[in-house]
Chain A
Amino acid sequence: MSTDITPDTEQSSEPSEPSKDGPLLSVENLSVQYQLGRGMTGRAKTLTAVRDVSFSIETGRTLGLVGESGSGKSSIGRAILRLAPVSGGRIVFDGQDTATFGKRTPLSFNRDVQVVFQDPMSSLNPRQTIATTIGQAITRHRPLSGLERDREIEQALDRVGLSGYHADRYPHELSGGQRQRVAIARALAPRPRLIVCDEPVSALDVSTQSQVINLLMELQRELSVSYLFIAHDLEVVRHISDDIGVLYLGQMVEAGPADQVYRTPAHSYTQRLLASTLVANPARQAARTAERRALGADA
């Protein structure tokens, strides 16, 4: 097990030296708070979405975060992407504390850390062709001539299983699965080292879902990119992840190697979640149903 996860860690967060030996990403005692609507009187309300969560991801590995709505799993991803405020703890990427960036995120960080969102329709600009969307992702990080750029766009599309003729299409002209492939191509364009995948297959049909999962795993083998894979489906997360963290109400209640968490869940919430996760096998599902009814009777 090369990924080290320390749930509810008590370890002091001593400043880590920039080093190539440590984990690619290490999240230490992260908390995320949102300011809720402020009245005229100015009394701000806060919502704590994530409380004291720690984990790390090694190069080329996948950490799955699983949880239900309100578990804070998406907030963790957004905090790493610097789209959500960090109210406590540290996020260290490649040895560098992201808090030191200040307001401006360095371009190198944008290049290294990319994202694939759940809903590919809203994550692609409806008024830009696929080529424009991917093109600007490439040229922002690597100034290229028009010809070179076009070639790279074609390569990027090819890598995610789309053809060159998709380049001139608009998002609404593609199917959900194709759109998600475009989103993956855009995320890969700057040649990142970590991709935050926020429920990347939840909006897709079964057959398309498996296509996208396979693509993500293939790309990881090819490019050694790391994933933070956020989802609500324990079966999907287990399939793609090396390690799993289970989130409940903003806290990480259990973490460990994927198989261990899946086969011998320790925390009662993980047990309940697993018992509630449906499997497409009547015999095994019958066992799970019995188990979850037993758990439900206890609760």
Chain B
Amino acid sequence: MTDQPREGTLQSTAVLTEQTDPAGIEPGDGAAAEAAAGPRAKARTLRRMLRQPVTLFCLAMLLLQVVLALGAPLIAPYDPAAPNVANKLQGPSGDHWLGTDDLGRDTLSRIIYGTRTALLASTESVAIGLVLGVGLGLFVGYRGGWWDRIGMRIADVMQSIPALLLALALVAVLGSGLGNAMLAVGLIFAVSFMRITRAVVLAEREKLYVDAARVLGLRSSGIMLRQVLPNVSPPLIVQASIALGTALLIEATLSFLGVGIDATQVSWGAMLDASRQHVSEHPLLAILPGAAITLSVLAFNLLGDGLRDAGSPRSAPRAGSGKKAKLPIVSTPVPSPDDALLRVDGLTVTDRNGAQLISDVSFHIKRGETFGVVGESGCGKSITAAAILGLLPKGVTIAGGSIRLEDSELAGLSGEALRQVRGKRIGMVFQDPGSALSPVHTVGRQLTDAIRAHSGLSKAEAHDRAAELLTLVGVPNPQERLKDYPHQFSGGMAQRVVIAGALACDPELLIADEPTTALDVTIQAQVLDLLASLRERLQMSLLIITHDLGVVADSCDRVAVMYAGQIVEQRSVEDAFAEPKHPYTEALLAAVPHSETDGEPLATIPGRVPPAWAWPQGCRFNPRCPYATDDCRTGTVPADADGVRCLRVTELQLAGAR
């Protein structure tokens, strides 16, 4: 119906099923989440599933259903269709465990035979839906163009008629009977599966690996079947499982309405319909088939949920977690000058498994100073910044050490006391301005809220202040732009807005976590210049977290180099860059291409940063260090007066930046 897709179009495609879960068919997330599942990961997914008790219950239910359906003639004590008027409307008894219905037929036997109908109906319709839907979805998704437009238009038409209604209409055309009813339901499913498949195909088609396959000259059909299709299956399996439940519900509904099954078949829905006249005297007649339907649908739905959870990396236990012996929490006090604004002392942060994300981190920032923390990803820079403002992720906690802002201790602070620090005394700027602002609120709203969080300003006053802030950070037309939404700003301008928000209440310290990483080169320089001039004008201190040594060289007075959760060197930028004292600092400086490295190979650091649960014994840099000796592999390495953690600090002559 709509040509211009809205963001929810994928979700809104799920018209057919009362329980199609939109979250499940979202191609981006779903596919990415499942993306980790190759055959080996598949086995892992299976194991994870088997650890979920609910999923196990569902599998058991499913097995029971299959057994009942296949073995109905052997298991059922009576012929489900044989009337025995003498015995009608009996309560439970030794002969009839669950009693009899208005024609004297055995309820237990009818429930058992009903399983057969239910299972047959749901598998049949889902199979039809899958075969048709996946085929069509692959086709229109890959061909695109007119095929796609026609396919989607037809899907729109089919889905503008509610599923049940369409089933009714199709039954009217095809004639009643389970087969026809389920064919109808299958056709409806096909539309939904087609949409899901198409959505995943469209998302996968944009992936670079498809481009790479095309550049390799692989055949289109091969790319489709061998590369794209496997990525479609995880969301489809989840949806198919849920569709089984939906099909069962629709079958029951149609039977209940008397248009589904014919008289020779036994269906839970029809049993319910028949029970209505006697419901007040014989409630069991209505309760039992309903409970059977509910349980079956529940099993299918929960199975789908379980499959989804097992396939998503969120629930994946982290490799190596819990295996590692806990490191002792060491705290080496480092003297800091009296005029320090922020003093971090022996800070250790652990995750929920006790792995130390950062260990014994100590540094201070003076008033008006720009302090840089530099290192590769996974070294604990951002965790350090987050710990200062109490913004650590769930399960990650401060295990030791202190963070003092002038005279107040920030470690362990919570609630209102913490809030009084955030924004008011310490402001923070984040890496990606695109996601750091709420997309559905105006910039003005977000700025005024930040201003009013710590001031008694009226709305109008806060609005004026917000405009002032935008002027301060160099956003032109502040009054106009306050009405705009974040997506109407370019990356550089959005980052200026984020900075304005951080400055809302005149903080003494501004923490900038990779403030320019997401920006273009020339924009990055502008933002760094802005930060420098703001620091001067507002007399703040600045903490810049970055992986880019150039940013440090440009903007910082002093720098801490972090490696594997520890600060390994902490000195003035000039000194650290000219005469590094730690081999890691030397290696980082040498690895950057610059004007002198013409054609010659760059220096490299072998290997990579280990994960937090596998920090090496001894000096954490020793496996990658060209100067490491046996001593470096045992014991702990304390930091010296320059914050350098190297046993050979006095003997080594290291090369600085060229």
Q: In the complex, A touching B, CB below 8 Å?
A: yes
Question: Footprint of B on A, CB under 8 Å?
Answer: 37, 39-40, 68-69, 78, 81, 83, 105, 107, 109-111, 113-115, 117, 119, 122-129, 136-137, 140-141, 170, 172, 175, 177, 183, 186, 190, 205-211, 213-214, 217-218, 232-236, 238-240, 259, 262, 272-273, 275-285, 288-289, 292-293, 296
Task: Quote the shortest CB–CB distance from B287 to chain A (angstroms).
Answer: 46
**Given the interface contacts A235-B592, A238-B593, does A115 sit within 8 Å of B212 by beta carbon?**
yes
Residues of B contacting A206 with CB < 8 Å? 376, 547, 549, 588, 591-592
**A207, B376: Cβ atoms closer than 8 Å:** yes
> Looking at the complex, which one of B40, B227, B550, B608 makes contact with A170 (CB distance below 8 Å)?
B40
Q: Are A278 and B553 in contact (CB under 8 A)?
A: yes
Chain A's closest residue to B609 (CB) is A205
Question: Do the beta carbons of B593 and A186 come within 8 Å of each other?
Answer: no
A-B contact pairs, 10 of them (CB 8 A): A83-B214, A123-B209, A127-B37, A136-B218, A206-B547, A210-B592, A218-B601, A238-B595, A280-B657, A296-B526
Give the contacting residue for A207; candidates B523, B529, B601, B604; CB below 8 A: B604
Q: Which residues of B contact A78 (CB under 8 A)?
A: 211
Once the chains are docked, how many angstroms separate the CA of A183 from the CA of B41? Answer: 21
Contact B216 A207 (CB under 8 A): no
A125, B657: Cα distance in complex, Å: 39
Q: Return B298 CB to nearest CB of chain A, in Å.
A: 31
Q: Which residues of B have CB within 8 Å of A280?
A: 549-550, 552-553, 577, 588-589, 592, 594, 657
- Asked if A117 contacts B577 (CB within 8 A), the reply is no
In the complex, the 6 A-B pairs of residues with the closest C-beta atoms, listed nearest first: A278-B550, A110-B217, A280-B549, A239-B593, A276-B525, A207-B605
Chain A residues with CB under 8 Å of B591's CB are 206-207, 209-210
- CA–CA, A278 and B227, complex, Å: 40
Contact A115 B215 (CB under 8 A): yes
Contact B529 A296 (CB under 8 A): yes
Contacts of B551-586 to chain A: CB distance below 8 A:
551-554, 573-574, 577-578
A210 to B589, CA, bound (A): 11
B382 adjacent to chain A (CB < 8 Å): no
**Please, which residue of chain A has its CB at the minimum distance from the CB of B550?**
A278
Contact flag A279-B550 (CB < 8 Å), given A114-B215, A119-B208, A235-B592: yes
- Measured between beta carbons, the chain B residues less than 8 angstroms from A122 are 207-209
Q: For residues 214 through 238 of chain B, which have their beta carbon under 8 Å from a beta carbon of chain A? A: 214-218, 227, 230-231
Residues of A within 8 A of B214 (CB): 83
- Is B506 part of the contact surface with A, judged by Cβ < 8 Å? no
The interface bits of chain B over 92-134 (1 if a CB of A lies within 8 angstroms of the residue's CB, else 0) are 0000000000000000000000000000000000000000000
Say what secondary structure dominates the interface of chain A: helix
In the assembled complex, the Cα of A114 lies from the Cα of B525 at a distance in Å of 34
Q: B213 contacts which chain A residues (CB < 8 A)?
A: 125
For the A-B complex with A205-B377, A277-B521 known, give 17 more contacts whose Cβ atoms are closer than 8 Å.
Answer: A81-B215, A107-B217, A122-B209, A123-B212, A125-B209, A126-B35, A126-B37, A140-B218, A210-B602, A210-B605, A214-B604, A233-B521, A235-B595, A277-B550, A278-B548, A280-B553, A288-B554
Please, what's the 1-or-0 string for B594-637, where 1 marks a CB less than 8 Å from any CB in chain A?
A: 11011101111100110000000000000000000000000000
Bin chain B's interface residue count: 35 or more
Within 8 A of A (CB), among B501-538: 520-526, 529
Contact A282 B587 (CB under 8 A): no
Q: Given that A119-B208, A122-B209, A276-B521 are known contacts, is A190 also in contact with B593, CB under 8 Å in the complex?
A: no
CB < 8 Å: which of B40, B207, B377, B553 contacts A285? Answer: B553
How far does the Cβ of A297 sit from chain B's closest Cβ, in whole Å?
Answer: 11
Q: With A and B bound together, what is the CA distance between A129 and B40 in angstroms?
A: 10
Q: Out of A137, A205, A284, which one reaches B547, CB within 8 Å?
A: A205
Tell whether A278 pairs with B520 under 8 Å between CB atoms, given A177-B608, A186-B212, A207-B605.
no
Which residues from 330 to 379 on chain B have a C-beta closer than 8 Å to any C-beta of chain A?
A: 376-377
Q: Is B658 close to A, CB under 8 A?
A: yes
Q: Given known contacts A122-B207, A137-B216, is B602 in contact with A68 (CB within 8 Å)?
A: no
CB pair A140–B594 under 8 Å, yes or no, is no
B264 interfacial by beta-carbon distance below 8 Å:
no
